[in-house]
Amino acid sequence: MSRICEITGKKVARGNNVSHSHRKTKRTFMPNLHTKKFYLEEEDRWVTLKVSAAAIRSISKNGLKATLDKAVEKGFMAGY
């Protein structure tokens, strides 16, 4: 599976390391991803998701069902 958050759609970004002499070399910025199991009470089952730290905060703030519905609506996941 690729390095993409299933809730927010965050993925690997690319940029430059810039030295003191201002030379630039390519680098990647990795998202802060975790594989985590969440309990979906409405369907009485566990759901395993690859989510960023920001997505974990969104789930705890808005609830799992609402966050999953919004992710499906935005096209970040096909279904759950």
- Whole-model pTM: value is 0.84
Q: For residue range 34-70, what is the model confidence (pLDDT) as tens digits?
A: 999 999 999 999 999 999 999 999 999 999 999 999 9
Q: Where are the domains of the chain?
A: 13-74
User: 13-74 in CATH: which number?
Assistant: 2.30.170.40
What per-residue string of b and e applies to 8-45 under the rule 16 or more CB within 10 Å gives b? bebeeeeeeeeeeeeeeeeeeeebebeeeebeeeeeee
Contact 59, 38 (CB under 8 A): yes
Over the chain, what is the mean pLDDT?
95
Specify the pLDDT at position 2: 87
Specify the pLDDT at position 79: 83
Three-state secondary structure call for residue 32: coil
Q: Above 70 in pLDDT, residue 31?
A: yes
